[in-house]
């Protein structure tokens, strides 16, 4: 009887840690699966952001070019 | 408004029931003279004596033998006098820790002040009709506050680091060894005859190893409400002491080369992944362990609101005003359990001792798990992030980062450590579910 309770404790430990690990391992598989599926079938709208990001500096360049042209024209004139 | 109503009423009475109104006026007059009659003039010395007997000093020195504790049971004279003084000094020590040392001041200050108020004699603030008692009944005894806190924590959590490196979830699982290791320890202690913990109490104590305040309070109120004060204080004070407890263990278990391991940069995680994740975890919890769904459900609710991106107002409320409000109540409510008769008992000492063992075992097993993972091929894991598997978000991750920086200033581990950190929250919620399903 004496050792029984501690043994019970170890049983709880095995069961508990088993559940926690099983849960997390299944979760890891699902996370990996999900990222594969999402990357294959729903490729990020990230690209759009990049397009947007790259288009802004171009506009800036155009504006800068226009300003410098105007300034040089003004100085010449 | 009141005056107008009164005037109308008076007019009405005067015009229609003159005699009756005269009668009522007469009766109020007699009432007031009657009251004056019952007040007997007292000699000044007696008044001063009576007042002195009602002071706190008198209550500390010569406690009222009929005074009952907050939960209505008898208190020993020690708990009424010196016990209260000791507990008040303990709360001063907690103030010092919170203010001077910066240990989780957001929680420790309300808890300590609640403790201070709960140990005031005569006033009975922690009793059924005191405001601390009301706060306790309002949201702690029915597990409401920890659940709301969990929603807020969910709204603050970013699962990005975990999603970009899923295998670090194993570290968050390994750290739960602290919980079950302590369960064995608590059972062994009561077997050896030092204390008399039931299995419910033992498991409520062991959840301290999950390093998750709300989970500890949730489990304690469910399985062993009589130990709530000690468990919550142990849990929060050890969480606050994470920067002191963890580094020596982390350093003892790793070599210098291991501490300098640099981890590959995290990949970008798409918004859709972050949005699907909370639903995925909740689905898994529903299928495997419905007992854990109150905690995981609340947590994922908060996270889902945040990641949905369309309810910014609700997300903001969860992250700020709601969690702050509830934290104040939670702290004061837990503090009410710091009354001397409940805290100054031998059990508390064992709970404190078991709590620190739970923390240390959790930290150590996280680090060891990382070392085991490094034996397998694949990207190397810096074992220092293993310690972040004990939940304590984000403190434990910061500690990993800080220790890592001590050895290599360019090694930023914070984001890598957030992975096991948030996995630890899920892990301890699952462990809590297992304990509830076993013992309730």
Model pLDDT, residue B290 = 93
A49 and A65 in one domain? Answer: yes
Model pLDDT, residue B365 = 94
* Residue ranges of domains in chain B: 161-311+345-439
Distance from CA of A75 to the nearest CA of B (A): 49
How many CB contacts within 8 angstroms connect chain A with chain B? 111
Model pLDDT, residue B141 = 87
Model pLDDT, residue B204 = 92
Total domains, chain A: 2
Model pLDDT, residue B267 = 87
Looking at per-residue pLDDT, the higher value among B113 and A60 belongs to B113
Report whether pLDDT(A55) > 70. Answer: no
Model pLDDT, residue B121 = 87
B235-259 burial, b if ≥16 CB within 10 A, otherwise e?
Answer: bbbbbbbbbebbbebbbebbeeebb
Model pLDDT, residue B127 = 86
A33 and A49 in one domain? Answer: no
Model pLDDT, residue B17 = 47
A63 and A38 in one domain? Answer: no
Residues 6+ apart with CB under 8 A from B178: B209, B210, B211, B358, B359, B360, B361, B362, B363, B365, B390
On chain A, the residues whose CB falls within 8 A of the CB of B176 are 16-17, 20
Query: Is A2 in contact with B169 (Cβ distance < 8 A)?
Result: no
B375 touches chain A (CB under 8 A): no
Phi/psi at B68 (5° precision): -105, 160
Model pLDDT, residue B23 = 47
Query: Is B273 in contact with A23 (Cβ distance < 8 A)?
Result: no
Question: What is d(CA B178, CA B200) in angstroms, rounded to the nearest whole number?
Answer: 17
A37 and A14 in one domain? Answer: yes
**Interface of chain A toward chain B, CB-CB under 8 angstroms:** 2, 5-6, 8-10, 12-13, 15-17, 19-28, 30-32, 34-35, 38-39, 42, 44, 46
Q: What is the mean pLDDT of residues A49-62?
A: 57
A67 and A37 in one domain? Answer: no
B361 touches chain A (CB under 8 A): no
Q: Where do the DSSP E strands lie in B166-284?
A: none
Look up the ipTM and state it.
0.81
Model pLDDT, residue B41 = 78
CB B182 within 8 A of CB B205: yes
Model pLDDT, residue B36 = 57
User: Euclidean distance between the first and final Cα of chain B, in Å?
Assistant: 56
Could you report the per-residue pLDDT of B334-380, keeping only the tens digit for each? 898 888 888 888 889 899 999 999 999 999 999 999 999 999 988 88
Question: What is d(CA B140, CA B264) in angstroms, rounded to the nearest whole number?
Answer: 43
For chain B, how are helix, strand and coil distributed in percent, rounded to 5? 75, 0, 25
Q: Which residue range is the domain that position A24 belongs to? A: 1-43
A58 and A69 in one domain? Answer: yes
- HSE, side-chain direction, 13 A CA sphere, residue B380: 10
pLDDT averaged over 10-residue windows placed end to end, chain B, 440 residues: 63 52 48 61 86 86 78 78 91 91 85 92 87 92 92 93 92 92 89 86 90 89 86 84 90 92 87 94 94 94 95 95 95 89 88 90 93 89 92 86 91 91 93 90
Distance from CA of A55 to the nearest CA of B (A): 22
A27 and A12 in one domain? Answer: yes
A69 and A59 in one domain? Answer: yes
Query: Is A27 in contact with B169 (Cβ distance < 8 A)?
Result: yes
B336-355 burial, b if ≥16 CB within 10 A, otherwise e?
Answer: bbbbbbbbbbebbebbbebb
Listed in sequence order, the DSSP H helices in chain A are 2-41, 46-76
Residue A37, CA distances (Å) to A45, B164, B278, B423 in order: 15, 14, 17, 22
On chain A, the residues whose CB falls within 8 A of the CB of B368 are none
Query: Is A24 in contact with B169 (Cβ distance < 8 A)?
Result: yes
Please choose, from the candidates B261, B272, B314, B312, the residue with its C-alpha nearest in 3D space to the C-alpha of residue B160: B272
A60 and A75 in one domain? Answer: yes
Block residue for tokens 């150590």: B364
Model pLDDT, residue B9 = 58
Model pLDDT, residue B228 = 84
Which residues of chain B from 284 to 323 reach within 8 Å of chain A, CB to CB? 284-285, 288-289
């Amino acid at each position: 009887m004496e050792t029984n309770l501690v043994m019970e404790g170890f049983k709880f430990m095995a069961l508990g840690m088993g559940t926690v690990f099983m849960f997390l391992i299944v979760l890891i598989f699902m996370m990996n699966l999900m990222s594969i599926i999402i990357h294959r079938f729903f490729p990020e709208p990230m690209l759009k952001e990049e397009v947007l990001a790259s288009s802004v500096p171009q506009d800036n360049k155009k504006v800068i070019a226009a300003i410098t042209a105007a300034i040089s024209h003004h100085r010449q004139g | 408004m009141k005056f107008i109503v009164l005037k109308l009423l008076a007019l009405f009475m005067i015009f229609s029931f003159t005699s009756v109104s005269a009668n009522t006026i007469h009766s109020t007059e007699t009432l007031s003279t009657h009251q004056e009659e019952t007040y007997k003039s007292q000699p000044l010395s007696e008044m001063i004596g009576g007042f002195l007997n009602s002071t706190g000093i008198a209550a500390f020195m010569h406690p009222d033998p009929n005074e009952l504790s907050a939960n209505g049971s008898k208190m020993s004279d020690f708990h009424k006098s010196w016990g209260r003084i000791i507990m008040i000094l303990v709360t001063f020590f907690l103030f010092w820790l919170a203010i001077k040392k910066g240990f989780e001041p957001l929680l420790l200050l309300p808890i300590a002040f609640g403790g201070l108020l709960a140990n005031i004699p005569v006033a009975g603030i922690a009793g059924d009709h005191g405001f601390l008692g009301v706060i306790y009944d309002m949201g702690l005894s029915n597990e409401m506050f920890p659940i709301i806190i969990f929603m807020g924590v969910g709204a603050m959590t970013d699962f990005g680091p975990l999603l970009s490196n899923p295998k670090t979830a194993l570290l968050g699982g390994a750290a739960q060894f602290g919980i079950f290791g302590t369960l064995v320890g608590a059972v062994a202690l009561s077997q050896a005859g030092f204390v008399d913990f039931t299995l419910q109490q033992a498991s409520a104590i062991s959840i301290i190893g999950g390093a998750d305040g709300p989970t500890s309070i949730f489990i304690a109120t469910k399985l062993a409400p009589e130990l709530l004060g000690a468990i919550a204080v142990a849990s929060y004070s050890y969480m606050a002491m994470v920067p002191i407890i963890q580094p020596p263990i982390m350093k003892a278990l790793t070599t210098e080369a291991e501490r300098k391991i640099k981890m590959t940069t995290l990949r970008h995680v798409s918004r859709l992944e972050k949005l699907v994740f909370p639903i995925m975890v909740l689905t898994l919890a529903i299928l495997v362990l419905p007992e854990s769904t109150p905690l995981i459900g609340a947590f994922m609710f908060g996270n889902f609101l945040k990641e949905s991106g369309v309810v910014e107002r609700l997300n903001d409320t969860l992250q700020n005003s709601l969690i702050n409000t509830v934290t104040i109540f939670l702290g004061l409510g837990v503090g009410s359990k710091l009354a001397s008769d409940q805290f100054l008992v031998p059990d508390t000492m064992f709970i404190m001792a078991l709590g620190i063992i739970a923390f240390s075992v959790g930290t150590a097993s996280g680090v060891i798990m990382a070392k085991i993972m490094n034996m397998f091929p694949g990207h190397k894991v810096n074992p220092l992030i293993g310690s972040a598997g004990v939940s304590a978000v984000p403190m434990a991750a910061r500690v990993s980062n800080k220790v890592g920086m001590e050895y290599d200033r360019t090694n930023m581990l914070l984001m890598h450590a957030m992975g096991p950190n948030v996995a630890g929250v899920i892990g301890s919620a699952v462990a809590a579910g297992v304990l509830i399903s076993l013992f309730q």
